[in-house]
Amino acid sequence: MKTIIIAGGTGSRLWPLSRSLYPKQFLTLVGEQSMLQATVTRVSEIADGEPIVICNEDHRFIVAEQMREIGTKADVILEPIGRNTAPAIALAALHALSTGEDPLLLVLAADHVIEDPAAFREKVLTAQALAENGSLVTFGIIATTPETGYGYIRRGEVEGNGFKVDRFVEKPDLDRAKEYVSSGNYYWNSGMFLFRASRYIEELEKHRPDILEKCEQSFKTLTSDLDFIRVASEVFKNCPDESIDYAVMEKADSVAVVPLDVGWNDVGAWSSLWDVTEKDTDGNAVIGDVVCHETQDSLLMSTSKLVAAVGVSNLVLVETKDAIMVAEKGKVQDVKKIVEHLKKEGRPEYELHREVYRPWGKYDSIDTGARYKVKRITVKPGNKLSVQMHHHRAEHWIIVSGTAKVGRDDEEFLLTENDSVYLPIGCTHWLENPGKIPLELIEVQSGSYLSEDDIVRFEDRYGRA
């Protein structure tokens, strides 16, 4: 059994913590690991070999770093463009079959919370017999409330350790959802699956051969880039955009559902995080440096500043270094409207945090003015920024801790704590951490244009353009 993890998506309803270039699957919202790391760890006892993680180009280094942190090596397949779950799973299945084996594929989303991982593993093993007998297995969450934000699965007659799927149902209105829950015959559609790789390809060829054709064509010209697997970009961009439910599960024969009662939550909005977070005696979920007075049933999160709440209830307040979001708990589904507005206005807050992660480390934009920008830069041991130059800005680097190896035009030298160097406009320069501890420095940029696209790269060990 091989694990396939779908790590796409932007998690816009969890803004400002989740952003398009650092979405919720990479955040640590519950427990000590990110949601992606927790997903991998949850099934490591029952899965064989390295997991296959499917993500987009922008997130590749985040995935690689998070896998390194938990000591896991993964096959990371890069989607040139998001084409939904049916093509993504097809790429994973083709990759698994390319090894000469035909494993069972346990398909999981990277951004779900499961409070009872032992019970989840037990249910997966229970479903294994169904998958080995040729069934396409989906996992249905036992519905406890009439949720209108989930699709539902109606069960049919008993089959093995589960049930045949009678039909898949779209997201219902509230009255219909109440009927579903009271009947006991419907489950929430979790978007988790178990089937043999060849069976998925067989059903995809039967019902959506156009999707399979594009996936096979794009898979024929695989290229490797560091630890990443790239498919043919131009071919895959022409692949139809379709979910596995529409493309395969709703049309295939031999589809089974195994019920789950494992504390599942997709953390699709701030109210969902409130549901799964420990609360104080007033019903408040408090994360970070927060002080409350006469406050009830609220989610209050601070990442960098003291947050104080007085006399409020049913509120969500989330503070990050560059944004504060306040919403009534019952309205948090509409946070995505704010993200849409920010994107339309071209505001960077929809896409980036003030603190930005790069394959070599990270930087934090501390201050910005009309003709200057100040960053705090951290470079991981053994890593190097690209060889580059700028047309519109000069830079001044001041070393705070660690050792820097610096190149400036034809010069090469070492800098240590309290040393500095000036890099005029147009000079070719690079920075490397040759030491054993993180290198920290302050960068002061000055000039008429300070955006990140004023970078001309001549050499980059991470394969960036």
Q: Note the pLDDT tens digit of each residue in 129-153.
A: 999 999 999 999 999 899 888 999 9
DSSP 162-213: EEEEEEEEPPP-HHHHHHHHHHT-EEEEEEEEEEEHHHHHHHHHHH-HHHHH
Indicate the fold that domain 2-265 takes in CATH. Spore Coat Polysaccharide Biosynthesis Protein SpsA; Chain A (3.90.550)
pTM of the model: 0.90
CATH code that applies to domain 355-459: 2.60.120.10
User: What residues in the chain have per-residue pLDDT under 70?
Assistant: none
Decide: helix, strand or coil at residue 330. Answer: helix
Which pLDDT score, from 0 to 100, does residue 89 have? 96
Give the pLDDT confidence of 54-65 residue by residue, as tens digits: 999 889 999 999
Q: Where are the domains of the chain?
A: 2-265, 279-338, 355-459
pLDDT recorded at residue 8: 87
Beta bridge partners of 153: 168, 187
| Burial grade of 105 (CB within 10 A; 0-12, 13-18, 19 or more) | buried
Q: Please, are residues 105 and 2 in contact by the beta-carbon 8 Å criterion?
A: yes
> Partners of 283 in the beta sheet?
none
Task: Count Cα atoms within 13 angstroms, Cβ side, for 13.
Answer: 16
| b/e map 441-464, b = 16+ CB within 10 Å | bebbbebeebeeebbeeeebebee
Predicted local distance difference test score (pLDDT) of residue 42: 95
Please give the Cα distance from 312 to 295 (Å, whole number): 5
